[in-house]
Structure 1
Amino acid sequence: MDYQFDFSFLAEYWPELLRGLWLTIKMSVITIALGFAVGTLFAIGRSSQRSWLRRLCAIYVEVIRNTPLLIQMFLIYFGLASLGLKLGADFCAILAIVINISAYTCEIMRAGIESIRKGQLEAANCLGLSRLQTLAMIVLPPATERVYPALTSQFILIMLTTSVVSQISAEELTSIATRIDSITFRSFEIYLVVAILYILLAATVRIFFWLLGRLAFPRLRRLGTPL
C-alpha cells in the first residue's frame, strides 16, 4: 500500500470543522427538545379515551415510521419549494428530524404511559385532580422514568441522524467534511477525524443524560439502573 497518511492539512480546516460541529450540536439540542415534546403529546393522544384522536395519532406514527427520513426531508425541502414555499435548509432539516423522531418517541413514551397502574389514576380521580394535573403529576414523571434509558438511546440517535441533513446542503459536520474532502481528496483522514468527533459527541451526550437522569429520577440513582 503506497498511500501516505497526512493529517497536517486539517490545521487549515479546523475552524470550518468546528463550525460544522457547532451546528450539529445546535440541531441536536433543538431536535431533542422538540422531538420529545411533540412525541409526548402524540403519546398522550394515542392513550386518549377518544377513539378518533387515537386513530389520528396512530396514522401519523405509522406513516412517519414507515417512510425514510431522507424522503421526508426531500419532501419538505424540495417538495415545498416546488409548490412555491421556499424554506432554509437548516429549518427544513430540523423540521424533518423533529417530525421523524417524534413518531419514535411517541411509541417509547406510550409504553411508559401504559405502564402506569389504573389504581394510581383512580386515586388521582378520587383526589379531584384534573386530567392535566393527573398527567403532569401522576402519569408523565414515572412514565418518563421507566423509559428513560430507551429515550437516552433515542436522543443519541437523533444526534447521529443530523449527519443526513448534508443531503439538502445544511452545513453541519458531515457536510463540511464532504466539502473538505472534495478539495483535498484526503477521504480517509477527514472522515476518520469526523468519526472520532461523532464518538466524542455521542459519549458527551450519554454522560449528560446519565447525570440528568440521576438528578431527575432519584429512584434510578438508588437502584443504580444503567442508562
Structure 2
Amino acid sequence: MDYTFQFGPLLNYLPQIVSGLWLTIGLSFVGIFGGIALGIFCAVMSTLSSPIPRLLVRLYVEVVRNTPLLVQIFVIFFGLPNIGIRLSPLTSVFIALVLNNGGYVAEIVRGGIEATHRSQVEAAESLGLSYFQTLRYVILPPALEKVFTPVVSQCVLLMLSTSLVSAIGVEDLTGAAMIASSETFRTMEIYLVVAMVYVVLNFVFRAVLNVAGLMIFTRSRRRLLGRA
C-alpha cells in the first residue's frame, strides 16, 4: 500500500469545519440540558400514584430507547410533514436530540429516585411535607447526585450522536467533513482530524459537566475537598 497523507487541502475547508464544530457544540448543549430537564420531569411523573402519567412516561421511554436516533430524526423531519407539520432541519434535530436524551435520562433518574430509602420519605411525611415538597427537598437532590455519573456518560454519548444530524443536511462537524471529503477526496485525512476533534470534545464535555456537578452537589464537593 502506497498512500501519501496530504493535510494541506483541509486548510481551505477550515472555516466550514470550525463552523460545523460550533454547531455541534450548540446542538449538544441544547440536547444535554433540554434532555436533562425533560428526563427529570418524566422521572417525577413516573413516581406519581396515578397510572396515566406513569403509562405515558413508560411508553415514551420505551419508544425512545428501542428506536435508533437516526430513525427518530427521520420521523420528525420527513414524517411530520405528512400530517401538516413542517419543521426546518435544525428545529427537527433540536427536538430529536432533546427527546432522545430525555428518554434515557428519565430512566436513569427514575432509578435514583427509587433507590431513596423509604425512611427518608417517612421522615418527610412526619414533618408534614407534601409529596412534591418531599421530592424537591428530600428525594431529588440525593437521587440526582447518585446518578450524576451515568447521566454525564449519557450526555457525552448524545454529543457523539449529533454526527447523525448530517443525514438531513445539517452542516455540523460531520456534515462539514462530508462536504470537504466529497470535494477533495482526502477522506482519510479529513475523518482522522474529525475523529480527533470528537475525542477532544469528549474530554471537554465530560470535564465541564463534572465541574458543574461539583458546583451543584455540595456533598460531592466536600468529599473531593476532604480527599485533597
TM bracket, shorter-chain basis: over 0.9
2:87 is aligned to 87
Q: Counterpart amino acid of 1:3?
A: Y
1:155 is aligned to 155
Offset of residue 217 of structure 1: 2.1
1:56 is aligned to 56
> Is 1:214 paired with 2:214?
yes
1:70 is aligned to 70
2:210 aligned counterpart, secondary structure = helix
Q: Counterpart amino acid of 2:69?
A: L
Q: Deviations over 1:155-186 (max 9, x none)?
A: 10111110001111111110110011000000
Q: Deviations over 1:52-111 (max 9, x none)?
A: 221221111112211111111111100112333221101101111111121111110001
Q: Counterpart amino acid of 1:145?
A: E
What is the rounded CA distance, in whole Å, between the counterparts of 1:68 and 1:214 in structure 2?
A: 32
- Unaligned segments of structure 2, at least 5 residues: none
What is the rounded CA distance, in whole Å, between the counterparts of 1:201 and 1:103 in structure 2?
A: 23
Q: 2:73 touches 2:92 (CA, 8 Å); kept in 1?
A: yes
Q: Counterpart amino acid of 2:57?
A: C
2:36 is aligned to 36
Q: Deviations over 1:2-39 (max 9, x none)?
A: 22111011211111101000000001111111101111
Q: TM-score, normalised by structure 1?
A: 0.94
What is the rounded CA distance, in whole Å, between the counterparts of 1:92 and 1:216 in structure 2?
A: 31
Runs of 4+ aligned structure 1 residues displaced above 4 Å come to: none
Q: Counterpart amino acid of 2:162?
A: T
RMSD after superposition: 1.5
Offset of residue 222 of structure 1: 4.2
For these two proteins, the number of residue pairs brought into alignment is 225
Report % sequence identity.
45
